Amino acid sequence: MTTPAISHWPDVDDVEARLDALVGTPVRRPDDATLADYRAWFEKHTAGSRATAVEAAAYIPGGVQHNLALNEPWPLDVVRAEGPYLWDVDGNRYLDFLQAGGPTVLGSNYGPVREKVAELLAGCGPVTGMLHSSEVRLAKLIHDFMPAVSKFRMLGSGTEGVMAAVRVARAYTGRAHVIKVGGAYHGWSDQVVYGLRIPGTGSLEATGIPEGALRLTQEVAPGDLDGLRERLVANEEAGGTAAVFVEPVGPESGTHLVRPDENARIRELCDEFGALLVFDEVVTAFRLGMGGAQGHFGVRPDLTVFGKCVAGGYPAAGGIGGGDEVMGVLEGGLTAVGKRAFVGGTLSANPLSCVAGYHALTEMDRTGAPALAGRAGDRLCAGLAALIARYELPYVTYNIGSIVHLHTSGVLHLSLDDPDFFTELGPRSEMLGQMSMAYSAEGLITIAGSRLYTSMAHTDEIVDDALARFDRVFARV
């Protein structure tokens, strides 16, 4: 029997109560003198990274291209990744809980996969623009792990997968409206940059996107199934709803947790109103078990969006999968005609990504990596909770297997209805940068200071080392 990657589901009511308390508490961070000490560490130990950052600022907007990268006091120039570690250009080693944003469940730069990629590059090369057998092997493997995915179309990213899902849903149903859950991130394409990260914010971050692009995108509050029903009913008078998009563990990888029965109830609503249910499994596919979140919850989506893990940490990782009929509108090639949703991409389904993905997923299944990563997440979360209690901090931690949340500022749980929203937004966002800097100076790389991904490479020894480093930060708050 396969060991589950999620040992327990967090108590949603308890988590929400603690997060409400956190938002109502003044920010608790290291004091200015301590932050100055951490900046001094960067000054002394990361001169090479600083030089790279100065040059980057001359040629790259803001000097940083990765939205999850540390940028206070300056970005780190990372030159090596291996297992649970990162090394910067100055030779400093860090414990890596970013894990490239989540795809490296095996740990970074996993040797057996790297060897297969090297073989491919020595023979075929990275891209041909033609069919390659690795495409077939990868698609079949995904179907074997996720029966709802009868057909799979490889694309270049999770954002492209969402773009395709919107187009497929509209082409298949003949309807136009799409509904998302507030706070969820479904990539940066025009039609879904709506209600990002903080529920209820609508088009707050949609700078540069014309209003018309978002006219048919709608948002419902996390967990508000009555509101979802009302939206579906209202849309019936305007031609109906093409699709409901969800992150199956909740927006921002469970930053706003779903209740265990929520996906099944959304499935029922979609069936009632003839809308497609789309699971955005960019983070959760394979990380939360080889069957993804849909396997954990036992819910079959109509479409599944893939990213990150589908190439095991190699680039051009994304795609869309679903049943034969709905995926039929994505038929590719020069002769495809009829009711066709056009998607493309010169580098989509390239041999390098498909070979990497096939062997990464095979190794994850063989080694039981999702369960090992989940066990590491349990240990890390339990240790963080003990530290928070010891230092009587208002911080909130919980985990969904190998997805570990550590909320210190509460910025993602602010409410737009709060008259102090914009007063609180700046300081609480700034605190995330300060905490990220503190963690990094102690040799810890996290996701924006508020989330950590564990991998198979995060052994008990590695996790305990990390907890000792967190202890040093929390002790100075």
Checking if the pLDDT of 392 tops 60, the result is yes
**Residue range 378-394: mean pLDDT, rounded:** 98
Each residue of 302-313: pLDDT tens digit?
A: 999 999 999 999
The dihedral of CA 459, 449, 66, 292: what is its sign? positive
CA distances from 227 to 30, 179, 231, 418 (A): 40, 11, 6, 20
Checking if the pLDDT of 80 tops 60, the result is yes
Split at pLDDT 50, 70, 90, the class of 70 is: confident
More confident residue, 349 or 145: 145
Q: Give CA–CA dist 25/428, Å, rounded.
A: 11
pLDDT of residue 1: 58
Among candidate residues 72, 100, 101, 89, the one with its CA nearest the CA of residue 438: 72
Split at pLDDT 50, 70, 90, the class of 338 is: low
142 and 321 Cβ atoms separated by less than 8 Å: yes
Checking if the pLDDT of 125 tops 90, the result is no
Each residue of 361-372: pLDDT tens digit?
A: 999 999 999 999
Checking if the pLDDT of 336 tops 70, the result is no
Copy the structure tokens of residue 338.
Answer: 């009829």
Q: Give CA–CA dist 64/52, Å, rounded.
A: 11
pLDDT of residue 172: 95
Whole-model pTM? 0.95
Cβ of 39: how many Cβ atoms within 10 Å?
Answer: 17
Give the strand pairing for 177-181 and 241-246.
Answer: parallel
Checking if the pLDDT of 295 tops 80, the result is yes
Residues 6+ apart with CB under 8 A from 308: 100, 101, 102, 103, 158, 282, 283, 285, 317
Half-sphere exposure (CA, 13 Å, Cβ side) for 364? 34
Q: Give CA–CA dist 40/47, Å, rounded.
A: 11
In the chain the first and final C-alpha atoms are separated, in Å, by: 44
Each residue of 215-256: pLDDT tens digit?
A: 999 999 999 999 999 999 999 999 999 999 999 999 999 999
Checking if the pLDDT of 333 tops 80, the result is no
Lowest-confidence pick of 64-73, 214-223, 320-329, 464-473:
64-73
